[in-house]
């Protein structure tokens, strides 16, 4: 369990080793990836001025180039999301004062529409890189980042809070510092779940890709070369063939990074499972097997971990004395009370400013109308999350307990989670108009189409980390059927399910802006709800009502998380201990 970053291996020198056949097999692949990254990075920093046309061709021959640009943006955003996750989860899980601010803040961030983040970020990024396309690229990467970071942060936070007591006791015995505890205990324990959430984050980036790559600024439409912009142009031109080509390119990209990135990481992270025997749950990766047989790659990785361990100082121990810890306790109590008072003051000030804004700019009648629309969307969110949970939790547990099947459905699940809901608009409009169905009912499933996969991926991650000893003990006790689910499976995956449900709930509120207002050509279908209200006010350019809608949405998400999901989260945390 404690072998994540072991700096004791000296490794062989890269220059003194003789390559074997696996080195020659990997060399073309490594060179191809490096060349593609270098070419894509050069294209991201080309000269550009606002107003300059950025044509996007629907010729399928351009799709490999567009796919390269899109994947480069998505992996760059994923890297920043991972850094954000490390910092956020460590602060929120280790410091109670920080947790009181960061968790509600994360509730707000995941409920703010991606268009809201983009509207704030586009102008500063363009000003930061004048005359260069890199500013627009950074704005697109930031927009993708906002669709990736929140569920990863929740996953790592949940894993740190639910570490088994015996592991925490072992860390105390070895006198690990907070820095050492994070890298040698908390991150390894959270690694399987974090990887599944990284896959979901990549899929979430695909889901909002059209909004990220088709940017509007200063009354100018900027379309960055990529799959998202290609889809936007295809939808504008009502080109079914181009949409089909885009779907094929998406599937190719997902299969590519699944085999070259996520599958090796999942197989590598299998050694961090919290059990004494590996059992029959090991993940397999042909690329990881090749890498382990490669002499050059093993030499490079050994040297890398050695240098990293020396740089970060894994083995310097904590020397705090018990007397010093007792002296700091009164200070911590005073600081906690002062921090609580500051948070309360900020909350009161924000509430007062909101009341003034409503009274002077939009009126109380409009505010009451928007709150009523919020309750309509709330009912949709809760019903859809309940239905998605009833469907996907049993399936996810079954998949997580059978790695031979999880590897087969892994890429398929990523593709379904990445499928942009915009591509379903033609079918949805045709069915609802032809059969004269009620939009208030039949547009609702679009809200959970892209977010239900948070539940699937998190529960799969939780079930895959179920210790093999626990499964054998359940079999020896003769547990079967519902009793086995009640006593073993459901308690084991409950913390992971709550994490997935929280992110799915927040994502559904965000997706309501797309799902409650559907257009295809000149046909529009509108469902009553907070999402359609924000979309209509955005089209009308009414910024006061846009702010009112987003503010009410944030309040609903915070209250739902605080008084419903948070209670379940604390229950999961208590049961894990």
In the chain the domains, ranked by start, together with CATH numbers, are 22-33+66-273+296-319+363-576 (1.10.3720.10)
* Distance separating alpha carbons of residues 197 and 87, to the nearest angstrom: 17
Burial of 309 from C-beta contacts in 10 A (0-12 / 13-18 / 19+): middle
Q: Quick one: tokens of 541?
A: 């350019």
Between helix 364-400 and helix 490-515 the angle, nearest 10°, is 140
Contact 154, 106 (CB under 8 A): yes
Element containing residue 524 per DSSP (H, E): strand 523-526
pLDDT in tens, the chain (577 residues): 444 444 444 445 555 567 777 777 788 888 888 898 889 888 888 888 777 777 888 899 999 999 999 999 999 999 999 999 999 998 998 888 888 888 888 877 877 777 667 767 777 888 888 888 888 899 889 988 988 898 899 889 988 888 888 888 888 888 888 888 888 888 888 888 888 888 888 877 787 787 788 776 555 678 889 998 898 888 777 787 888 898 899 889 988 988 889 888 888 887 776 654 444 556 778 888 888 888 877 777 777 767 766 655 544 444 444 444 444 455 567 777 777 788 788 878 888 887 888 878 888 899 999 999 999 999 999 999 999 999 999 999 988 888 777 767 766 777 777 776 667 767 787 788 888 888 888 888 888 887 888 898 889 888 887 877 787 888 888 888 888 888 888 888 898 898 888 888 888 887 888 788 887 667 788 889 998 898 888 777 777 888 888 888 888 888 888 888 888 877 776 665 5
Helix (H, G, I), strand (E, B) or coil at 15: coil
Query: In this predicted structure, what is the pLDDT of residue 515?
Result: 82
Element containing residue 298 per DSSP (H, E): helix 295-312
Contact 30, 291 (CB under 8 A): no
Paired sense of beta strands 220-223 and 523-526, if any: unpaired
Query: In this predicted structure, what is the pLDDT of residue 282?
Result: 60
Contact 141, 73 (CB under 8 A): yes
Query: In this predicted structure, what is the pLDDT of residue 321?
Result: 44
User: How big, in percent rounded to 5, are the helix, strand and coil portions of the chain?
Assistant: 80, 5, 20
Query: In this predicted structure, what is the pLDDT of residue 371?
Result: 93
């Amino acid at each position: 369990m404690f072998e994540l970053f072991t700096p004791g291996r000296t490794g062989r020198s890269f220059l003194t080793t003789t390559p074997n056949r696996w080195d020659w097999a990997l060399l073309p692949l490594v060179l191809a990836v490096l060349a593609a990254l270098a070419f894509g990075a050069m294209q991201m920093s080309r000269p550009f001025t606002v107003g300059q046309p950025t044509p996007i061709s629907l010729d399928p021959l351009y799709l490999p180039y567009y796919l390269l640009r899109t994947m480069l943006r998505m992996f760059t955003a994923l890297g920043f999301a991972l850094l954000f996750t490390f910092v956020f989860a460590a602060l929120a899980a280790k410091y109670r004062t920080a947790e009181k601010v960061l968790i509600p803040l994360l509730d707000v961030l995941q409920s703010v529409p991606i268009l809201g983040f983009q509207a704030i970020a586009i102008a500063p990024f363009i000003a930061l890189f004048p005359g260069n396309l890199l500013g627009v690229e950074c704005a697109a990467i930031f927009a993708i980042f906002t669709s990736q970071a929140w569920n990863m942060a929740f996953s790592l936070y949940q894993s740190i809070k639910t570490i088994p007591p015996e592991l925490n006791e072992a860390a105390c015995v070895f006198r690990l510092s907070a820095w050492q505890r994070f890298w040698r205990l908390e991150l390894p324990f959270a690694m399987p779940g974090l990887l599944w959430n990284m896959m979901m984050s990549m899929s979430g980036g695909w889901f909002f890709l059209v909004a990220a790559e088709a940017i509007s600024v200063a009354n100018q439409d900027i379309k960055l070369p990529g799959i998202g912009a290609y889809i936007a142009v295809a939808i504008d031109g009502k080109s079914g063939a181009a949409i089909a080509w885009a779907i094929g390119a998406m599937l190719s990209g997902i299969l590519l990074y699944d085999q070259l990135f996520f599958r090796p990481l999942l197989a590598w992270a299998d050694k961090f499972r919290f059990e004494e025997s590996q059992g029959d749950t090991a993940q397999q990766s042909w690329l990881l097997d090749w890498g382990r047989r490669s002499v050059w790659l093993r030499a490079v990785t050994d040297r890398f971990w050695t240098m990293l361990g020396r740089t970060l100082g894994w083995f310097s121990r904590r020397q705090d004395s018990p007397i010093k810890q007792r002296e700091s306790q009164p200070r911590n109590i005073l600081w906690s009370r002062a921090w609580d008072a500051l948070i309360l003051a900020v909350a009161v000030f924000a509430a007062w400013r909101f009341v003034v804004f409503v009274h002077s700019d939009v009126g109380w009648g409009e505010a009451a109308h928007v709150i009523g629309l919020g309750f309509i969307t709330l009912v949709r969110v809760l019903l859809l999350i309940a239905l998605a949970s009833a469907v996907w939790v049993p399936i996810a547990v079954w998949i997580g307990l059978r790695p031979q099947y999880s590897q087969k459905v892994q890429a398929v699940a990523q593709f379904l989670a990445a499928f942009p809901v915009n591509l379903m608009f033609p079918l949805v409009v045709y069915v609802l108009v032809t059969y004269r169905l009620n939009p208030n009912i039949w547009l609702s499933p679009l809200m959970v189409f892209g977010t239900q996969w948070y539940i699937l991926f998190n529960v799969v991650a939780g079930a895959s980390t179920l210790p093999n000893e626990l499964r054998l003990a359940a079999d020896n006790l003769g547990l079967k059927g519902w009793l086995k689910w009640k006593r073993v499976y459901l308690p084991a995956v409950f913390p992971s399910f709550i994490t997935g449900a929280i992110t799915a709930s927040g994502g559904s509120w965000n997706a309501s802006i797309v799902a409650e207002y559907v257009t295809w050509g000149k046909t529009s279908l509108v469902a009553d709800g907070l999402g359609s209200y924000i979309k209509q006010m955005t089209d009308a350019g009414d910024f006061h009502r846009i702010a009112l809608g987003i503010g009410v949405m944030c309040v609903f998400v915070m209250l739902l998380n605080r008084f419903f999901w948070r209670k379940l989260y604390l229950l999961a945390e208590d049961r894990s201990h």
